[in-house]
Amino acid sequence: MRVIALYFKVSILNELQYRVNFFVQVLQSFLSLVVALGGLVIVFDHTESLNGWTSAELLAVVGVYFIVGGLIGSLIQPSMQMLMEDIRQGTLDFAILKPVDTQLLVSVRQIQLWRLMDVGIGIVLLVIGLTQAGAEITVLELLAFVVMLIAGGIIVYSFWLILATIAFWFIRIDNILQVFQSMYEAGRWPVRIYPPWLQFMLTFLVPVAFAVTVPVEALTGRLTPLSFLGAIALTVLMFTVGRVFWTIGIRAYSGASA
Amino acid sequence: MIQKWAFLRPIYWMNFQVNVMTAAQYRVSTAFWILSLVAEPIVYMSVWAAVTREQGGSLDGLTVGQFSAYFITWMLVRHFSVAPVAEMEWRIRDGLMSGLLVRPVNPIHADIAENIASKLTALPFVILVMIGLAFAYPPTFNLQVWTVLAFIPALLMGASIRFLFQYTLGLAAFWVTRTNAIFGVYTVSEIFLSGRFVPLALLPAQVVLIASILPFRWTLSFPVEVVLGQLSMEQVVIGLGIQALWLLAMSQIFRLIWAFGVRQYTAVAG
């Protein structure tokens, strides 16, 4: 725990040095907001509802999309990219040598502070969307939402860890980042609009459904107890698989020094 | 002109071969790259299919099958017009450009060769994915011989315009060290104005006018419109003419900015 706190502190101090990055992020967040909202405006210019979702509810989806995207982009992705780069260049040696659990260490080494801005934008969109939809949220629903958000976070983390671990065998997988991002874009819309095979992919291969759609379903009274339990089960499963994968993968690592 | 081409041809050929081999070597990487390109049209397709169904099967006269035909053609055009030139920033910032500048030919030629190579090596996969989309959403094509023939120059010019446009934007790195803001604005404009997210036919007339004045419509939407038979023969000829003008303009703008940029360039010594 102390290690995590320490690494976070160092990363934050590091990020605070580069204030231009802040403005670059402001612009980037603004642009993705334009794309997301513009898309909604054009779609709802032609229809009243999309697969049973109203425009206000879809705004809430976009809100959660931003929250989760911000969390992934600031907390998970930077460390995982650093990990892949380290594997490729053979500099992972330095991390393995340290006396803490290597998986823990490589997972918290780097954060991108300014990406958290998206989380703020997402919360604003979510609140506006839910108010417009006139949703009355019970404490239970809110609780389910938070639990689903955390479960989604753990699933995405495990997914990223598995992907990064693949680098132990395939070395050059820098395109994976693009794959994830383009698949994650699919989360801007409720996964039910996609053809069945794509729904399956977005649920189990790239866990966008659990990261975005399921938490929103919890807030809009669409979540069934079954998918709640399913999400919990998948979280445990993914985390275990990620751990096992990592243990096997790190044995394949041969380093590049000496 | 002919002499110049005789000089350039072996350069193109060598770069082409090297890049085909590189792509064949990093197969996993190439596969992932293609995967990242296919997600986008499938998402858009699904959204518009859902909207169309919600509207009782027809949206402004467009059926799910026609949307499918639109996005299947979109994939092909998009594949040809993807230009991986964002690395210009990194080249200039890290001083790698120095090595390229001492070569006797403009580095754009090597980049064009690379671009052609990567497109041809990935083309079979793209066609596979197009067939996949056709299974998910059966398309209704209404092909005619002349539209298919007109599609070829429309596609090639559209792709060239976009390549030059992006390449020229990348040259901004000669003056500013971070160009992702510029590419961000470009991408957002393109999503709405080039027919990338929504067929231009579904947008208000003023927006379509802006898209037609700027290069955006001519890079993606126009070739798709041609092959779908949405344009009369006269409109197609005019469109091809506008594309040719943009291509000419873009190449001149590129030359100009390149000339100024290179003077601006000071390398970080290595």
Q: How many residues does chain A have?
A: 258
- Could you tell me if B197 lies within 8 Å of chain A, comparing CB atoms? yes
Query: Is the separation of the CB atoms in A66 and A187 below 8 Å?
Result: no
The tokens for B220 are 């993606």
pLDDT digits (tens, 9 = 90+) for B187-198: 888 888 888 888
| Structure token pair of residue B227 | 């092959």
Q: Is residue B270 part of a domain?
A: no
Give chain B positions within 8 Å (CB) of A197. Answer: 136
pLDDT (tens place) for every residue of chain B, 270 residues total: 566 777 777 777 777 777 777 766 666 666 777 777 778 888 888 888 888 888 887 887 788 888 899 999 998 898 888 776 657 777 776 667 777 777 777 778 878 887 888 788 778 888 888 888 888 888 888 888 898 899 999 999 999 999 999 888 888 888 876 777 788 888 888 888 888 888 888 888 888 898 889 999 999 999 999 988 888 889 999 999 999 999 999 999 998 998 888 887 766 544
Residue B197 near residue B43 (C-beta atoms within 8 A): no
Largest CA distance in chain A: 65
Alpha-carbon dihedral B233, B237, B239, B244, rounded to 10 degrees: 160
Write the residue in B37, B50, B203 that is nearest to A193 by C-beta. Answer: B50
Where residue A17 falls among pLDDT bands split at 50, 70, 90?
confident
User: Using CA atoms, how far apart are residues B53 and B48, in angstroms rounded to an integer?
Assistant: 8
As a dihedral over the C-alpha atoms of residue B87, residue B89, residue B95, residue B101, rounded to 10 degrees, the angle is 70
Q: What is the mean pLDDT of chain A?
A: 81
- The amino acid sitting at B53 is R
Three-state DSSP class for residue B89? helix
Distance of residue A141 Cα from the nearest chain B Cα, in angstroms? 27
Nearest by CB: A176 against B32, B42, B192: B32
Separation CA B229–CA A144 (nearest Å): 51
What does the pLDDT read at residue A173?
62
In the prediction, which pLDDT does B264 show?
78
Nearest to B192 among A38, A173, A193 (CB): A38
Which range of residues forms the domain containing residue B207? 2-264
- Domain count within chain B: 1
Chain B residues near residue A39 by CB distance under 8 angstroms: 47, 197
* Pairwise CA distance, residues B79 & B73, whole Å: 10
pLDDT for the residue numbered A257: 53
Instruction: Give the pLDDT score at A258.
Output: 42
CB neighbour list of residue B105: distance below 8 Å, 6 or more residues apart: B7, B8, B11
Q: Is B188 on the interface with A (CB under 8 A)?
A: yes
Q: Residues 6 or more apart from A2 whose CB is under 8 A from it? A: none
Beta bridge partners of A54: A49
Environment class of B109 (CB within 10 Å of its CB; exposed 0-12, middle 13-18, buried 19+): middle
* Local structure of residue B269 (DSSP, 8 states): P
At A26 the pLDDT is 84
Instruction: Determine, for residues A189 and B43 on separate chains, whether the beta-carbon distance falls below 8 Å.
Output: yes
Using an 8 Å Cβ cutoff, are B140 and B230 in contact? Answer: no
Contacts of B46 in chain A (CB under 8 A): 189, 193-195, 198
**Residue A204, phi-psi category: left (phi > 0), alpha (psi -120 to 50), beta (remainder):** alpha
Q: Do B184 and A35 touch (CB under 8 A)?
A: no
Q: Is residue B269 part of a domain?
A: no
Average pLDDT over residues A198-216: 82
Tokens of B32: 């992932």
State the smallest CA–CA distance between residue B248 and chain A in angstroms: 30
